[in-house]
Structures are given as C-alpha cells and as structure tokens.
Amino acid sequence: MYDENDATGLAALVAKGKVSADELLDEALARVAARNPAINAVVLVQEDVARKSIAKGLPEGPFRGVPFLLKDLGAEAIDFPTHNGSRLSANTRYSYDSEIFKRMRATGVVTFGRTTSPEGGVGPVTEAAVYGGPTRNPWGLAHTSGGSSGGAGAAVAAGILPMAHGSDGGGSVRIPASSCGLFGFKPTRGRFPDGPAAGEGWAGMAIDGFLTRSVRDNAAMMDACAGSDLGAPYVAPPLENGYLAAIQRPPRRLRIGLCDTNFSGQPIHEDCAEAVAKAGALLESLGHSVAPTRPDADHMGMMRAWTRIVACGGALSLQQAVARRGKPLAADDVQGIARGALAFGQTLSGADYLAAVEKIHSYGREMARALQPYDVLLSATLAEPPAKVGRFHHDREDFEAYRIGKGGVFEYSPFCAAFNASGQPAASVPLHWNAAGLPVGVHLAAQFGQDELLIALCAELEAAQPWAGKRPDFA
C-alpha cells in the first residue's frame, strides 16, 4: 500500500478510513530507521511533534495524514530547528512559522523532520560536514543524490515518503530530481512566499519547491502554496486555473525547441544527449513540433553574475549567523566553500553586486526573446549522469573557480541556473535511465508565467511514459 500510492493516493486511503495518519507515520519512521543509515538523508526526526499534530486534528487538505519532511534550509518553523547545513548554525530555533510552512501544513501533511542540505544551499551535491558524511543516491550509493535538496531527493527515491519539501536557487530541486529519478518543478519567480524572514532569496532567483514521484502531487502542493505574501518584492502573473486543473487535460500542440548540447554549444555526456533525443521523439509522437535550437544569450555572463550574487548572499548569511552567536568565526565553523564565498563576497563592492543583479535581469530579457519562437525549451537537466560522491566536495575554498572554472559546477549543471536567473518556470522529468541504472533527467522550460502550460506537458509525458514504478533496488 505505502509503495503503491503517491501522496494523493495515501491521503485518499486516510479519508476512506483504510489507514490512519499514525499508521502512515509508523511506516515512514520505520523506513527512516532501516534505510537512512545508508543514504544519510534525514537529519532531524520530531516524532512527538508529528504525533501531537495528528492528535490535535489535521487540516482537511489534499494531503491529510501523509508523512512529510522539510529541507534543512529555510522553511522556518517553531517546532523544527535547523542546521542550515552548517556547524555554525547548528540547532537554530525559530520563534515563528514561515508563510510557506503554514501553507504546506494547511494541506494536512504530517511533518516529522528535516532532510539534509549542503552548507548555505550551495552546490549540486549534499556533503555537509555537520551531518557527519555525504548524502548518497539510492540508485547507486557511490553517487550523489544531488543538491542542494539532496536529502529530500534521496529520501523520496529511497521510498521513505512520497514527497518532500525542497528549494531551488540554481537547480536545487531539479538537480536532485534528475539524479534520483523524480519529478521536480521550479515555478515562475515570485510564485511562492518568502516571508517573513526574507523579501527575496539570491536577488529573486531562489524559490521553494517539492520532490515528488507524481506530477499530480507536485501540482496539488504548489496550488496550496501559490501566491505572494504581504509586501513581496516579486509577484508572479496569476495562474489561470491552477496547477492541478492544468494537468486534467493535455496541452495544446506545442512548439518545442530541442537543445542537445549545453547552451553555449559544447557537447554533453552521451547518456544525457540520448535522453534528450528520446524525449524529443516522444514529444513528436504526441503531436508536438520539435526543432533543434540553442538559446542566444550571454550564458557565461549569467554564470559569473549568479556566482557573485550567491557569494554575497552566502557572506551575508555567515555574518548574520556570527552576529547571532556573538563570537567570531572559527576555522572549523564552516566548510571551505563557505569560507571561500565569504572571502570572494568581501572583494565585491555594492556596485559589483548591483551590476550582477542587472546582468541576470538583462539575461532574463535575452532568454525571453530566445524562447519567443517556442512554447517550451527541451534540454538535459545535467550535462552528465549523477556525479560520484566527493567530486564536488566542499573542502576547497576557491568559490569562483568551484562554480565557473574548468571542471566546475557550471560545466556539470549548465542548464538549471539559467531559469533561476530568468525567472522562467522549469522542470526536470525522469524519462531516462542509463546502462548503469542511474537516472538521467530531461529539462523543460517555458516562457515567463506559463507554469500551467509546462506542468500540463509534464503530465502528458508522465501518462505516455509512466515512471512511478521504477524504484531502486536499494530498498
């Protein structure tokens, strides 16, 4: 029963009285005990909080009674302290619940803990020292589950629960989705609330999201969370009918641009190119028009700007954490990349930061023009299959080279951050597994505000080539 149903299906069983919320929580906790030691994905378990929420009476939402986990970064909640992936911020407690957490809780989920994240949410892997070791991929334990929502991806892929909270500032939902054979969706900039802790994350590039097995689970949770909060600096165009309504019918026949290289024209791994080609053929078989393209925009300029903005954001977070603690930063408080971000951020002036923000906004205009001939842009999610654990470790301090240098993060993940910078909606869809049995996601992006069109296409692909039954042998 637990494995045969997505979150929506489990909630339906609860509603019919065929299983209780306590029984589902029992199963999730048993799976944490049995499976988490191998993958290191769940970092905090608050069973008492979860039991009390059930006893109090859960909201009558679409996921009433379904076990749920928060990412150990953001989503501030009184009952769920965080490490934020850092020894410096270990066991941070909050005096308030964030707006996004309130909306998630209102769906009736039973939140019982948090999942791992790299320090500061930076990087395509989850290897934070505060958790005592890396988070591993259930499809291959030598490989990363991705980042920064790597714990969420690993927990869902391992069957601990059907969906989990994540966030995405440069691919941090879509990278784990691709790495773990799951569905991940980054909505249009400003679709979800950031308050009250922040007005924006990383100049508006960061946004919450979810790792799910099914498109409908993601759609229902996004519907529940959509809408700005009071005083939000960014407001997304309103949805016409909502995500869940959009997936009830196939999309119109779409113009799809296919890019089987990276956006600058360099080749990608043959497994990823094969995934794109097969996805293109599937889309053509569904009646869509598919044509080769490569978006004409200053991609390297965007990557440099993204790196500067995130370095400044990381420096600010560290400075705030040090101030709260009331004593100077020690060498072992943070990992190398965090120290590198702080050092690099301190070399940048206010003018440098504003120039970087202007650059991502100009890049957004370039990408809007590039997508004008198309409804959707198809590419790989990553330029390679899931990396080996340790390849992007966080012990090095050369933050700029780590991101944009040779062999760096942007060579591995050249697609995702583009749509954080542009604000356009984007998704990773699990349509391909390579000969080694590792998931290889395909990436779909739409024009600004066209979330409903994009998720309708994702649902059409899910119906044409179902993926929910594909599970790792790990369990």
Q: Which residues sit opposite 427 in a β-bridge?
A: 185, 444
For residue 397, being part of any structural domain is answered with yes
Q: What is the pTM of this model?
A: 0.98
Q: Which residues sit opposite 335 in a β-bridge?
A: none
Query: What does pLDDT average to over the chain?
Result: 97
3-class SS of residue 157: helix
The residues, ordered by sequence, that sit 6+ positions from 432 with a Cβ below 8 Å of its Cβ are 271, 274, 275, 278, 279, 439, 440, 441, 442
Residue 257: CATH number of its domain? 3.90.1300.10
As a whole number of angstroms, the distance between CA 403 and CA 234 comes to 27
For residue 253, being part of any structural domain is answered with yes
For residue 469, being part of any structural domain is answered with no
As a whole number of angstroms, the distance between CA 118 and CA 438 comes to 22
Structure confidence at residue 365 (pLDDT): 98
The residues, ordered by sequence, that sit 6+ positions from 264 with a Cβ below 8 Å of its Cβ are 299, 300, 414
* Strand positions, DSSP E, 123-227: 136-137, 140-144, 163-168, 183-186, 207-212
3-class SS of residue 235: coil
Q: What is the mean pLDDT of residues 355-376?
A: 98
For residue 474, being part of any structural domain is answered with no
pLDDT at residue 75 above 90?
Answer: yes
Catalytic status, residue 359:
no
For residue 319, being part of any structural domain is answered with yes
Distance, C-alpha 118 to centroid of its chain? 13
Q: How much of the chain is helix, strand and coil, in % rounded to 5?
A: 40, 15, 45
Q: What is the mean pLDDT of residues 94-112?
A: 98
For residue 471, being part of any structural domain is answered with no
Catalytic status, residue 327:
no
As a whole number of angstroms, the distance between CA 214 and CA 358 comes to 37
pLDDT tens-digit map of 211-254: 999 999 999 999 999 999 989 998 999 999 999 999 999 999 99
From the candidates 89, 148, 178, 379, give the one annotated as an active-site residue.
148
Q: What is the mean pLDDT of residues 41-47?
A: 98
As a whole number of angstroms, the distance between CA 313 and CA 224 comes to 28
The residues, ordered by sequence, that sit 6+ positions from 111 with a Cβ below 8 Å of its Cβ are 46, 49, 50, 53, 68, 69, 70, 77, 79, 80, 104, 105
Measured N-to-C along each axis, helices 451-464 and 270-285 cross at an angle, to the nearest 10 degrees, of 90
3-class SS of residue 130: helix
From the candidates 53, 71, 317, 422, give the one annotated as an active-site residue.
71
In degrees and rounded to multiples of 5, residue 398 shows phi and psi of: -85, 75
For residue 59, being part of any structural domain is answered with yes
Q: Where are the alpha helices (DSSP H) in 286-335?
A: 299-325
As a whole number of angstroms, the distance between CA 399 and CA 402 comes to 5
In the numeric block, the tokens 């966030």 are attached to: 167
Q: What is the mean pLDDT of residues 355-384?
A: 98
Q: Which residues sit opposite 111 in a β-bridge?
A: 68
Say how many C-beta atoms besides its own lie within 10 A of residue 141's C-beta.
14
- What region does 17 belong to: left with phi over 0, alpha with psi -120 to 50, or beta? left
pLDDT at residue 475 above 70?
Answer: no
Q: How confident is the model at residue 199 (pLDDT cuts 50, 70, 90)?
A: confident
Contact call for residues 203 and 158 (beta carbons, < 8 A):
no
Q: What is the mean pLDDT of residues 70-96?
A: 96
H or E element, residue 111: strand 110-115
Q: How many helices (H) and strands (E) does the chain have?
A: 16, 13
Q: What is the mean pLDDT of residues 104-120?
A: 98
In the chain, the number of structural domains is 1
Catalytic status, residue 71:
yes
Strands of 207-212's sheet in order across? 163-168, 207-212, 183-186, 426-433, 439-446, 376-380, 255-258, 289-292
12-16, 31-35, 42-46, 315-319: segment of lowest average pLDDT: 315-319
Within 13 Å and on the Cβ side, how many CA atoms surround 329? 20
For residue 145, being part of any structural domain is answered with yes
As a whole number of angstroms, the distance between CA 7 and CA 62 comes to 9
pLDDT at residue 187 above 90?
Answer: yes
From the candidates 167, 172, 214, 379, give the one annotated as an active-site residue.
172
Query: Residue 114 corresponds to which amino acid?
Result: R
pLDDT at residue 329 above 80?
Answer: yes
Determine the structural domain holding residue 152 and report its residue range.
Answer: 7-464
pLDDT tens-digit map of 399-457: 999 999 999 999 999 999 999 999 999 999 999 999 999 999 999 999 999 999 999 99
